[in-house]
Amino acid sequence: MGTSVQVSPLCGVYNENPLSYLVSIDGFNFLLDCGWNDLFDPSLLEPLSRVASTIDAVLLSHPDTLHLGALPYAMKQLGLSAPVYATEPVHRLGLLTMYDQYLSRKQVSDFDLFTLDDIDSAFQNVIRLTFSQNYHLSGKGEGIVIAPHVAGHMLGGSIWKITKDGEEVVYAVDYNHRKERHLNGTVLQSFVRPAVLITDAYNALYTNQTQSHHRDTEFLDTISKHLEVGGNVLLPVDTAGRVLELLLILEQHWSQRAFSFPIYFLTYVSSSTIDYVKSFLEWMSDSISKSFETSRDNAFLLRHVTLLINKTDLDNAPPGPKVVLASMASLEAGFARDIFVEWANDPRNLVLFTETGQFGTLARMLQSAPPPKFVKVTMSKRVPLAGEELIAYEEEQNRLKREEALRASLVKEEETKASHGPDENSSEPMVVDTKTTHDVVGSHGPAYKDILIDGFVPPSSSAAPMFPFYDNTADWDEYGEVINPDDYVIKDEDMDRGAMHAGGDVDGRLDEATASLMLDTRPSKVISNELIVTVSCSLVKMDYEGRSDGRSIKSTIAHVSPLKLVLVHATAEATEHLKQHSLNSICPHVYAPKIEETVDVTSDLCAYKVQLSEKLMSNVIFKKLGDSEVAWVDSEVGKTGSEMRCLQPMGSAAAPHKPVLVGDLKMQDFKQFLSSKGVQVEFAGGGALRCGEYVTLRKVGPTGQKGGASGPQQILIEGPLCEDYYKIRDYLYSQFYLL
């Protein structure tokens, strides 16, 4: 019987909230994405908190907050402890995104949901896979194979295929079928008839996607128009996702036009982002990897973009028009918010949004039509403590320290009492480092000298303090002093020691400023003030989200034509729209569950395995049809040694079966075929094909979106009794295989 599959959304259905879904396959619980939004509202994670401890594996699809933002929090606070699977770029860029989020937040609030250490530990155990890598789970998930495939939305972004016993569950959200500068299009279309497809309806109602080169020209024109009149351009971007595409567009345009306006990429982690991205060429589009292979041009060696990691550098930059790409895209925090407030009241400036802001954020507010004239923003800033506050803080700290010390000393006393009367040989509490093994080079003398010169601290626990005394226990035999061969072995670590000190920071390179911010333990506090910002600058929004639009979503789903479809992550209208559309023309089983509603999408497919005997196969003649070969078999079940059923040839003549025509007739192709055979052929009204003078051919009955998906084809051929009729019928038969 089929594999049991249950889907229950934890967040992000019937709205644009972050994505997080629980899929359980034969009792093995997958958490698909673990997202949060820029507002970091813990109430969104409530459903997750209820199931976090039962999750067996986490699959991440994209390196942005919406897809993985809650991972550190869930790991630390909600008891999520499952292994996490992601591609290398999703892991690395996701880590940087979280750093950037944390640092931006920390600047403006007393952010305490998670710390940098929590981020590090959450990402430490990510198991990294490559695209199309079939990873066999072990233990509880024995028999399940997971594989990430190209999604095309962000670098490393993946759609996940989970296979068990030949049944496929595909999780595809935020995919993009179009090829972009740095990314290949998704391979979702190559999946055929999976048992379950879980996908988003996010763009189901959005169909207005202009041609990409038109969009690019418009984008660049808008920017240069504002630069030329002396304005500044701000692009609020994400940390390490879609921004890469924008950087490439700008970089390319700048080198073609030889513009001198500076471009700044400002996030807390911008330089490490680009450093890593430079080594991710394998994950990018064919054209980028090709250009590196043939001419060693790394597309992300940015010549026109200056990477900045703090705002002061931007303030110190030479005045004049400039383009700044800064995080966060939502304008809720980060450098983008500060810059927006600074630049908003100059009509020459431009704020160019490249993606729809998250719901309820400043960016979303500004994108509404008509844009607001004024916005009220709360600006917060972290300032070092000074004056009385500092004194108060220090006193508080001192008090805490004293308490700590007091407690420690109490504990120590306890211990001392406990370890009364120590063993003579125990040199444990001794402060001096004494080498008990002989050094190969060092003679006995100096080894002791160290101790004498450095002074002697009597072990506090010893009953009778005395100098440490070592007996020279060198043994002699007839060949001289007995030596221990181990002392002369060259130590393995010798060579590595030099390099290892460099590799200390395992979890990624933090920029210097970031590091200083992290290590900055000066007492500080957050001050906030509300201000009204007059929005006189231009606000423009262009679609660089890199998602398939509604039309392509529909055709992609129709092409994949899953047996069961689960819709998530979209507004209620979009979800409903796609649901109706899919019910009408794709498949009869469409589900759009609500939060914490579990839908059972176990396939009702019956299947059993049989062995095909050599005898049977030698009698089968296959006919080739596209990728596959078909044949009719009549067989009976025979016995084999094992439990497996084996199909043998029929003992007696098989009952004749109803003949089947196999093939997919495309009227357009058939028309060409006929005309190549010298038959006059044209389309008459109503999809009928007129062949020769009298014969007409038409498809009747319900026709699906795509051939094959919705049932057998019905073809009607009619005409008067004549030679042409039989000729055309023969041509028609030649398009099919009769079984």
- Omega of the bond leading into 328 within 30 degrees of 0 (cis): yes
Closer to another protein by Cβ: residue 482 or 500: 500
Closer to another protein by Cβ: residue 5 or 220: 5
Q: Are strands 263-266 and 233-236 parallel, antiparallel or unpaired?
A: unpaired
Instruction: Please report which residue ranges of 200-333 form alpha helices under DSSP H.
Output: 212-228, 243-257, 270-278, 286-295, 311-316
Q: Give the nearest distance from C-beta 646 to another protein in angstroms.
A: 9
Closer to another protein by Cβ: residue 572 or 612: 612
Q: Residues with Cβ < 8 Å from 91, sequence gap 6 or more?
A: 60, 63, 123, 126, 128, 156
Query: Do the Cβ atoms of 532 and 209 come closer than 8 Å?
Result: no
Q: Give the nearest distance from C-beta 57 to another protein in angstroms.
A: 18
Element (H, E) at 446: helix 444-454
Q: Give the nearest distance from C-beta 297 to another protein in angstroms.
A: 9
Query: Do the Cβ atoms of 152 and 178 come closer than 8 Å?
Result: yes
Sheet holding 144-150, edge to edge: 135-136, 144-150, 158-164, 167-172, 196-200, 564-568, 590-591
Q: How far apart are CA 568 and CA 590, in angstroms?
A: 11
Using DSSP, state whether 739 is helix, strand or coil. coil
Closer to another protein by Cβ: residue 478 or 492: 492
Closer to another protein by Cβ: residue 471 or 723: 723
Q: Give the nearest distance from C-beta 137 to another protein in angstroms.
A: 12
Q: Give the nearest distance from C-beta 385 to another protein in angstroms.
A: 33
Q: Give the nearest distance from C-beta 639 to another protein in angstroms.
A: 5
Q: Give the nearest distance from C-beta 157 to another protein in angstroms.
A: 15
Q: How far apart are CA 215 and CA 253, in angstroms?
A: 13
CB atoms within 10 A of CB 191: 19
Nearest to 264 by CA among 239, 235, 290, 289: 235
Closer to another protein by Cβ: residue 258 or 499: 499
Closer to another protein by Cβ: residue 294 or 676: 294
Q: Give the nearest distance from C-beta 163 to another protein in angstroms.
A: 8
Closer to another protein by Cβ: residue 399 or 677: 677
Return the structure tokens found at 572. 């209620």
Q: Give the nearest distance from C-beta 338 to another protein in angstroms.
A: 29
Give me the phi and psi of 211, to 5 degrees please: -60, 140
Angle at CA 598, nearest 5°, toward 71 and 186?
60
Q: Residues with Cβ < 8 Å from 243, sequence gap 6 or more?
A: 237, 265, 325, 327
Nearest to 267 by CA among 112, 517, 96, 122: 96
Q: How far apart are CA 352 and CA 540, in angstroms?
A: 5
Give me the phi and psi of 107, to 5 degrees please: -65, -30
Q: Give the nearest distance from C-beta 136 to another protein in angstroms.
A: 7
Closer to another protein by Cβ: residue 347 or 588: 588
Closer to another protein by Cβ: residue 410 or 610: 610
Q: Give the nearest distance from C-beta 492 to another protein in angstroms.
A: 5
DSSP label of 282: G
Q: Residues with Cβ < 8 Å from 694, sequence gap 6 or more?
A: 719, 720, 722, 724, 725
Closer to another protein by Cβ: residue 122 or 339: 122
Q: Are strands 144-150 and 158-164 parallel, antiparallel or unpaired?
A: antiparallel
Q: Give the nearest distance from C-beta 505 to another protein in angstroms.
A: 6
Query: Do the Cβ atoms of 67 and 568 come closer than 8 Å?
Result: no
Nearest to 245 by CA among 164, 320, 295, 183: 183
Instruction: Give the largest CA-CA distance in the chain.
Output: 125
Q: Give the nearest distance from C-beta 738 to another protein in angstroms.
A: 7
Q: Give the nearest distance from C-beta 185 to another protein in angstroms.
A: 17
Closer to another protein by Cβ: residue 279 or 672: 279
CB atoms within 10 A of CB 432: 14
Helix axes 550-560, 572-585, angle to 10 degrees: 40
Closer to another protein by Cβ: residue 479 or 608: 608
Closer to another protein by Cβ: residue 74 or 187: 187
Nearest to 357 by CA among 157, 545, 109, 204: 545
Q: Are strands 538-541 and 323-326 parallel, antiparallel or unpaired?
A: unpaired
Q: How far apart are CA 174 and CA 192, in angstroms?
A: 19
Q: Give the nearest distance from C-beta 634 to another protein in angstroms.
A: 5
Closer to another protein by Cβ: residue 192 or 457: 192
